[in-house]
Amino acid sequence: MKKNRPFNYFLLMGTFLLLNTSVTLSVASPVFPEPAVEKLPSGGKIFLFKDQRYPVFEIRVHLDGGHRLDNPGKTGTAKILSQLIDQEADCDDDAISLSSKGLSSNFRPVVTAIITKLFFPDLSNNQVNAHRNQLLESLGGLREAPESLASIALHQNITSDPWLFRGSELRTKETKKVVAADVQKLFTESLVPERLTFSLIGSFSTADVDFLKNEIKTATAKLGKPKKTRKIGKPGLIKSTASKQPILIPLKELNHAHLKMGLLFDPIPKDEITPILVGHAILGELPDARLQKSLVIEGGALSMTSALFIGPDVNSWIISTDISPAKVFETIQQVEKTVKSWLAQGPTNEEVESAKKYLLGAYPVGLANFPSYASRWLFWEQSGIGGNMTSLYWQKIPATTSASIFSLYKKALKGKNFLSVIVGNPTAIKKAWPKNGKPFPKQVGPKALL
């Protein structure tokens, strides 16, 4: 659900879509069969995406239990846990995911290995200390990374739910406090069988499925039922504590300024999540397109992300760029003016049609094969929406109008919480900051963020 695209990408895609206008609006939903579903006695599910064309398969497992479940004062616990479960795994907004693939003839050992990683990871002191120290080493360079500092400051100041964001997870002082007992506690309270979602993709037999089910049953029985389970955070209900005064992180050695600005949306009613999920991509395209036309940046690429449901940018629209110190104030003014006009006027018919063409033209690329399709399906399922969102996409996007988009979003986009974070040389920025403009940004040292 994230977007982070440079300007030349928009030009390329725009050219392609203009040349294919007659095709994009009539794109049909990719024809993939709905997966078969095996319900486990424990309450979990296995989604079966069968494709016998090639003798290969892939197994994926998703476990609810991520960032929001970090023990207060000890952020980084979920990150360490996910790495202990599997070196290639990562946790993102309440989910720990891992996967493995191989030849169909090698099905059983691959499945046994991934079940062992999931249910019986090494959570010993030595392993936890090693991964904690590894994480701390990777955090050490953040004090010299303008983009990372800006992101952390924005996320810590734009929400009242700091445990959600990866930026808060990267607080060095809190990560140092994590011990093996914290990781073990999170693991035992998070590995709830009914929260496990498996998927099998590719070529496999009925006997293979039975083998997987038996492995899960055996591991669940051996692990035992947890005495206590951790609650899962509710997406789409984040409230803001954003300050309107910009924040400045001083890095005197920088000869440019890194600017990150975030607009936080009001909490979205739960019963409106489905239409918003379909429409949010259009929303993200609209201010992007208008900013590309109105915003002039010296020698810097413009990148934007938006997410209304899940992920580190949940309920927000964020713009990021590198500019000269002399252009910081002017750029902030231009962005705010553009956003305010969009919020007040709503999208034009032309902007909506252009966004629809892009979305219908680009979306099938992400569903080009079974693993991609299965991943998208599981995302919708885990979000409580249902995998049929894949087919609903083609019904809802073409039917969307500028009026319906504006009506849907005026409840959430009231423009109250708009925050700017600047990383750069305070002297150079202040020199070009107008005395009769907004108050000069509040300075926050890098160490305070971490």
Angle (CA) 91 138 74, round 5° = 55
Q: CB neighbours of 390 closer than 8 A, spacing ≥ 6?
A: 29, 30, 32, 367, 373, 376, 377, 380
| Residue 326, domain member (yes or no) | yes
Structural domain boundaries enclosing 325: 7-30+235-449
Q: What is the CATH number of the domain that holds 246?
A: 3.30.830.10
What are φ and ψ of residue 159, in 5° steps?
A: -140, 155
- Cβ neighbours around 289 below 10 Å, total: 20
| Residue 180, domain member (yes or no) | yes
Whether this prediction's pTM lies above 0.85 is answered by no
Q: CB neighbours of 385 closer than 8 A, spacing ≥ 6?
A: 273, 274, 277
Residue 275 has a pLDDT of: 53
Task: Write the burial class of residue 440 (CB in 10 Å: 0-12 exposed, 13-18 middle, 19+ buried).
Answer: middle
Please count the residues of the chain: 450
Residue 375 has a pLDDT of: 77
Please check whether residues 149 and 298 belong to one and the same domain. Answer: no
Q: CB neighbours of 437 closer than 8 A, spacing ≥ 6?
A: 329
Residue 13 has a pLDDT of: 35
| Residue 1, domain member (yes or no) | no
| Residue 230, domain member (yes or no) | no
Q: CB neighbours of 4 closer than 8 A, spacing ≥ 6?
A: 303, 304, 305
Residue 336 has a pLDDT of: 81
Identify which of 178, 174, 194 has the alpha carbon closest to the alpha carbon of residue 80.
Answer: 178
Residue 106 has a pLDDT of: 96
Residue 438 has a pLDDT of: 80
Please check whether residues 187 and 293 belong to one and the same domain. Answer: no
Identify which of 248, 246, 444 has the alpha carbon closest to the alpha carbon of residue 335.
Answer: 246
| Residue 2, domain member (yes or no) | no
Contact call for residues 68 and 232 (beta carbons, < 8 A): yes
| Residue 332, domain member (yes or no) | yes
Number of domains in the chain: 2
Q: Divide the 450 residues of the chain into consecutive groups of 10 and give the mean pLDDT of each group.
A: 37 34 47 82 89 91 72 82 80 74 96 94 94 85 78 73 52 88 90 87 95 95 83 51 75 89 69 54 59 59 64 71 89 82 78 78 71 77 69 76 75 69 93 86 81
